[in-house]
Amino acid sequence: MLRLSGAHAGTIHARPLAGTVARAAAVALLLAGCGGSAPDGSGTDGGDASASGTVTLVTHDSWALDEKLVEQFEQESGLTVEVSAAGDAGTLVNQLVLTKDAPLGDAVFGIDNTFASRALEAGVVEEYTPADLPDGAEQLGAALTPIDQGDVCVNADEAWFERSDLEVPTTLEDLADPEYRDLLVVSNPATSSPGLAFLLATVGAFGEDGFEDYWASLVDNGVKVADSWEDAYYVDFSGAGEGGERPLALSYATSPAFTVSEDGSESTTSALLETCFRQVEYAGVLAGADNPEGAQELVDFLLTEDVQAALPESMYMYPADPATQLPADWEKFAPQAEAPFEVEPAEVSEHRDEWIERWTATVVG
């Protein structure tokens, strides 16, 4: 990954001139092409993007913070916030690494602990520690500030198990038990972020040398691998109520809050809290930002009580500040794992590709 960042300057010698010409052409074509026909707002308010007072937040496509909170922040700080979404969490980090010398914005939110080391090694974030970092929230590399977290766990269709008179499994080992044959669906770690998290859970549980054996036993027990979370959850998982046939599916610890019965008394699914990996999402100030002060204020803003309290409802994540009050149905239906499996971010960064390849060799063959 590092070999790329250093190469930028000398890539093509003719670039500055070619760049200028092509950029001029880009403007001409854009003006000719959409100037007349696209009266959308994004074009008009983008004109003063570099003016002081604008701060651009680069994030992933799951960003969904309440507009009102952002407006309130804009009023209090005098800043104008622009949000740019880059794709999923992995895509986000890779785009930031690629654009290190001409950053896409000022601040970033959404780098998670499985990609954090790549971002830190490439130096895409500047050191910054918010003054009121909550107790229990640990920074990475003095540059990445934790904002929220979520557990990726196997979910179970409670009703199915009740009907089948079978005990709901609890541990990773249970999943390989012939009693639970052909019941589990997971997602591919190469193409899905929860899939990667679950692979890491098994690395955390069985060690770097033991996870392949565990997966081999899962394969023997009829595990099904879907391409993406939505695929596994909506097509294969019986608990989603869409006609799926497998009562065990990889999802999030928060998912049971979405299958609560009409009267709100109970959820038809539950998360197996002994099968979890914890994803932590970080924010930071981008190196080379036009507006580093604004970016710092934005990172501080994400840690404020209001935003922390809004995170569960808007982004389905637990706030990083443990003092934050959780919504009542979360307390009841979406408890966090007490001891999720862990793998050091640096370890993940170093071995991710290799582990995925070994996983592929074991599971796909």
Partner 1 sequence: MDRDRGRLRASLRTAPLLWGTAVAVPLGFLAVFFAWPVAALVVRGFVADGVLDLTGFTEVLSSPRTWRLVGLTLTQAVLGTACSVLLGLPLAYLLYRRSFLGRGLVRGLVTVPFVLPAVVVGVAFRTLFAPGGTLGFLGLEESLAGIVVALVFFNVSVVVRTVGGLWERLDPRTEQAAASLGAGPARVFRTVTLPALAPAIASAASVVFLFCATAFGVVLVLGGVRYGTIETEIWTRTTQFLDLRSASVLSILQLVVISGALVVSARARRRREAALRLVSARGSARRLSWRSPQDVTVALVGAAIVVGLMVLPMAGLVARSLREPDGSWGIGNYVALGTTGERNALVVTVWEATATSLRTALAATVLSLVVGGLVALVVSRRPRSVGARRAVGTLDGLFMLPLGVSAVTVGFGFLITLDQPVLGVDLRTSGLLVPVAQAVVAIPLVVRTVLPVLRAIDPRLREVAAVLGSGPGRVLRTVDLPIALRSVGLATGFAFAVSLGEFGATSFLARPDGATLPVVIYRLIGRPGAENYGMALAASVVLAVLTATVMMMAERLRDERGGGEF
Cα–Cα distance between 92 and 85 in angstroms, integer? 8
Cβ burial of 237 (10 Å; 0-12, 13-18, 19+) is buried
Cα–Cα distance between 277 and 204 in angstroms, integer? 8
Backbone φ and ψ of 85, nearest 5°: -105, 135
72 near partner 1, judged by CB under 8 A: no
Cβ burial of 39 (10 Å; 0-12, 13-18, 19+) is exposed
Site for partner 1 in 115-134 (CB under 8 A): 118
353 near partner 1, judged by CB under 8 A: yes
Cα–Cα distance between 335 and 69 in angstroms, integer? 26
361 near partner 1, judged by CB under 8 A: no
Asked whether 96 and 58 are in contact (CB, 8 A), the reply is yes
236 near partner 1, judged by CB under 8 A: yes
Interaction mask 237-256, partner 1, x per CB under 8 A: ---xxxxxx-----xx-xx-
Site for partner 1 in 252-281 (CB under 8 A): 252, 254-255, 258-259, 262
Identity of residue 69: L
- Kindly report the CA angle at 95 between 34 and 126, in degrees rounded to 5? 115
Q: Which helix (H) or strand (E) holds 168?
A: none
Asked whether 111 and 281 are in contact (CB, 8 A), the reply is yes
Q: Rounded to the nearest whole angstrom, what is the least distance from the CB of residue 57 to partner 1 in the complex?
A: 10
> Which of these, 139, 125, 76, lies nearest to 97 by C-alpha position?
125
Please identify, among the stretches 86-94, 129-137, 138-146, 272-280, the one whose residues bind partner 1 according to the rule CB under 8 A.
Answer: 86-94
Site for partner 1 in 30-49 (CB under 8 A): 30, 33-34, 36-40, 42-43, 46-49
> Which of these, 100, 126, 140, lies nearest to 5 by C-alpha position?
100
Site for partner 1 in 171-210 (CB under 8 A): 188, 190-191
Pick 133 or 358: Cβ nearer partner 1: 358
51 near partner 1, judged by CB under 8 A: yes
Asked whether 327 and 317 are in contact (CB, 8 A), the reply is no
Of positions 69, 74, 88, 326, contacts partner 1 by CB under 8 A? 88
Please identify, among the stretches 51-59, 197-205, 214-222, 274-282, the one whose residues bind partner 1 according to the rule CB under 8 A.
Answer: 51-59
308 near partner 1, judged by CB under 8 A: no
Q: How many CB atoms lie within 10 A of CB 252?
A: 23
DSSP bridge pairs for 246: 237
74 near partner 1, judged by CB under 8 A: no
Q: Rounded to the nearest whole angstrom, what is the least distance from the CB of residue 244 to partner 1 in the complex?
A: 7
Binding-residue total with partner 1 (CB under 8 A) = 97
Of positions 76, 230, 266, 306, contacts partner 1 by CB under 8 A? 230
Interaction mask 131-160, partner 1, x per CB under 8 A: ------------------------------
Of positions 74, 82, 173, 208, contacts partner 1 by CB under 8 A? 82
Backbone φ and ψ of 168, nearest 5°: -70, 130
Tokens of 340: 């999720």
Pick 130 or 291: Cβ nearer partner 1: 291
Q: Rounded to the nearest whole angstrom, what is the least distance from the CB of residue 303 to partner 1 in the complex?
A: 20
Cα–Cα distance between 87 and 21 in angstroms, integer? 29
Please identify, among the stretches 53-61, 71-79, 138-146, 293-301, the one whose residues bind partner 1 according to the rule CB under 8 A.
Answer: 53-61
Q: Rounded to the nearest whole angstrom, what is the least distance from the CB of residue 141 to partner 1 in the complex?
A: 18
Pick 130 or 334: Cβ nearer partner 1: 334
Interaction mask 13-32, partner 1, x per CB under 8 A: -----xx--xx-xxx-xx--
10 near partner 1, judged by CB under 8 A: yes
End-to-end, the C-alpha distance of the chain in Å comes to 27
81 near partner 1, judged by CB under 8 A: no
Asked whether 218 and 224 are in contact (CB, 8 A), the reply is no
Q: Which helix (H) or strand (E) holds 154?
A: strand 145-157
